[in-house]
Each structure stands twice: as structure tokens, then as C-alpha cells.
Amino acid sequence: MTESPILCSIDLDAPGKQVGQLQVPRSSNMAGWSNQYVPIVSIAGGDGPTAVVLGGVHGDEPEGQIAALNLLRRLEPAQVHGRLIVIPCVSMDASLEYSRLWPSGANMNRSFPGSPDGSPDEQLAHFLSTEVFPRSEIVVDMHSGGRTGLCVPWSEMHWVDDPEQRRQMVDGMYAWNADWCCVYIDIAGSGLLVGEAERQGKIVVSTELGGGGFVTAEIHRLSISGLENVLRHFGVIAGEAVTRADLGKPEQTLLMATERDNYLLAPESGLFETFVDLGQHVSVGEPLGQMHFLERPDRAPEVIESLTDGIVCSVRAIATTDQGDNVVVVAREASRSELD
């Protein structure tokens, strides 16, 4: 295998707290010879599992980036049983522009497993796939709906076939203690970060922490409390994990969005008007929203109806919509035993 062209300024196997960066080769109009610096922090305190915490795979999702920054600043090696590797913002240039994709147009979450001689995003994906994930037992990848989507919010997972891996992932998903958990499928391509980590047998915990281009204080609290509780649950950081029962809250509502029909796509381009609110129960055939056509004020809007019974867990956060864009997700409420 070709060696990674990415330089890591810290020793990921050394004890203690180290703050450094990954240096990703780049060449731009502003500098022919340049490296993009991606901060990476390792906090190793002793024997125990290793967790990787990732934020900012998409640049317009600040929830996880801020939670990761708060986490890495407050933790010292004495509070870490095993090892924590934190990359608070994977897609630096995208975050600086508050955009989902890299300025090159690359989607970091479609770049895995990556390649050492591919584009910079593929080189970074390859480094994570070959140098970071193999060192870890747990991979936490924090997302949200970004500027264009608004989610209830939830912690999430893919269905994985290995029963023990799946059991641990279900426990991790529930340990976030959000009101909602969601099992989802990829309707927009392959090459996801979590997919590669799952393929390597890791316990993968992910989230969709709101979105819509803004973050409330409540979402910030859920981001850091969930992240810390998951790391406590797996014995990576000190302290007892708490359950929702401990917090006096009812059990999480489990959502299954594992069928294509759960994801409603715009039949034409236009302005989307939503009729439904997050958390609302809807029935098959129920109008979820409609597309308006600015160039055809005489034309009746195109109504989009639910294809299933279920709960609205995500709605498009902006009106401007292209044909084929997801406008609403209607998920089926399920019981936790379905994941056994």
C-alpha cells in the first residue's frame, strides 16, 4: 500500500495530552506550495479503549465541532482511561465558509475509504481509514442537518449484520440520551465515513443534532452531554454513564428510516412549502408540503404526499429546492427489540 502523504505532527501512540495537526498537501491559486492544517488532539491516560471523535465532516454542521472543542479542552489524561483522538473539524476550509462541501466541491462524507494518491479529501479519508480507525474501538462522527435540513434531533446508526457490533452500536446510540434514535439508510451515495468504520468492525455512533443553519443552547447542551455520556458508557473517560431513566425522562423514541419511501424527494425544482412540523405523526397519502413555481404563478403547486405512516423526523430547512432533493423524512416508530 502506498504510504499516506499526510504528515501527523503528534505521536498517536504516545501517552499524555498532545495538540497537533494533520498536514494535508494542497496547491492553490494563493500558494503553489501549501499544506492544509487539520488540528488533531490525542489524550491518552492509561489502559482502556480508544475512541475517535470527529466533528465538521460537513462544514455547515457546527454542533459537533463545538462539542469536540469543549471536550478536548476540558479533558486531561487523568480523566481518560484509554485514549481519545479528537479531530474537531475534519473539513477545515468548508467550515470556514460554513458550507457542506469543500471549496473543491468534494463531499468529505463520500470520500471513504480514500486513496493516498487521490484528491486531498481522498488523501485525508485514507489517513483516517488506515492510521486513525485501526487504532480505535469506538468512532463517534457528529453530524446535523446542516443549513438545508432540520432534524428532530437524534443519535443514529446503520443496521450492521454482526450481532455483537450491532448490540454495542445500539447501546452507544441510546447512550446519547437524545429524545430520538434513528436507524437510517444511505440514499445519496456511498463512501461514508461511518460505512468504512463499520466495515472495520468499529462501534460507530453518529448523530443528526438539529440543523437548519442555526444552533440553540439546548442543542449545544445535548451535543456535549451526549458525547460525554457515550464516552463514559464505553469506559473511555471517567465517570458513570447515566440513562434517561436516571434523568427522569421517558425512553427514547426509536425511528426506522430504512426504506426508500421514508425519504420524500422533490418531483420538480421550485420553492418548497412544508405543511408538517418535526415530531408530527402523519398517515400515508397525507400532504407533507408543496412545490411552488416562481416562473409559473398561474400553475397550481405540486403537493407531496407521505408514502408511509410515521413520524416526521426531518424537514427541508430552506425553500429553494432542486428536483430530487429530500424535502421530508417520515420514519416508522419501532421498538428497541427490533434491533436485537
143 binds Zn ion (CB under 5 A): yes
CA 271 to each of CA 166, 290, 300: distance values in angstroms, whole numbers, following the listed order = 40, 8, 13
- What is the smallest separation between the CB atom of 64 and Zn ion, expressed in angstroms? 9
The residue among 17 and 100 lying less far from Zn ion, judged by its C-beta, is 100
What mask of x and - would describe binding to Zn ion in positions 17 to 56, judged by CB under 5 A?
A: ----------------------------------------
CA 194 to each of CA 3, 113, 146, 263: distance values in angstroms, whole numbers, following the listed order = 22, 10, 17, 20
What mask of x and - would describe binding to Zn ion in positions 53 to 72, judged by CB under 5 A?
A: -----x--x-----------
110 binds Zn ion (CB under 5 A): no
The residue among 60 and 237 lying less far from Zn ion, judged by its C-beta, is 60
Q: Which residues contact 275 (CB under 8 A, 6 or more apart)?
A: 287, 288, 289, 290
The residue among 58 and 110 lying less far from Zn ion, judged by its C-beta, is 58
The residue among 194 and 203 lying less far from Zn ion, judged by its C-beta, is 194
The residue among 211 and 310 lying less far from Zn ion, judged by its C-beta, is 211
Binding residues with Zn ion: total (CB under 5 A) = 3
Total count of residues recorded for the chain: 340
Q: What are the residue ranges of helices labelled H in 248-321?
A: none
- What is the Cα–Cα distance from 7 to 127, expressed in whole angstroms? 9
- What is the smallest separation between the CB atom of 157 and Zn ion, expressed in angstroms? 15
166 binds Zn ion (CB under 5 A): no
22: burial class by Cβ within 10 Å (0-12, 13-18, 19+)? buried
Query: Residue 128's closest CA among 183, 66, 192?
Result: 192
Residue type at position 21: Q
- What is the smallest separation between the CB atom of 109 and Zn ion, expressed in angstroms? 6
**Run of H or E including 19:** strand 16-26
The residue among 107 and 290 lying less far from Zn ion, judged by its C-beta, is 107
The residue among 120 and 149 lying less far from Zn ion, judged by its C-beta, is 149
| Whole-number CA gyration radius for the chain | 20
- What is the smallest separation between the CB atom of 315 and Zn ion, expressed in angstroms? 16
- What is the smallest separation between the CB atom of 144 and Zn ion, expressed in angstroms? 7
- What is the Cα–Cα distance from 48 to 102, expressed in whole angstroms? 35
**DSSP-assigned beta bridge partners for residue 80:** 237
Stretch that binds Zn ion, among 141-149, 226-234, 261-269, 290-298 (CB under 5 A): 141-149
- What is the smallest separation between the CB atom of 332 and Zn ion, expressed in angstroms? 23
- What is the smallest separation between the CB atom of 102 and Zn ion, expressed in angstroms? 13
Query: Residue 271's closest CA among 253, 287, 292?
Result: 292
Residues that bind Zn ion (CB under 5 A): 58, 61, 143
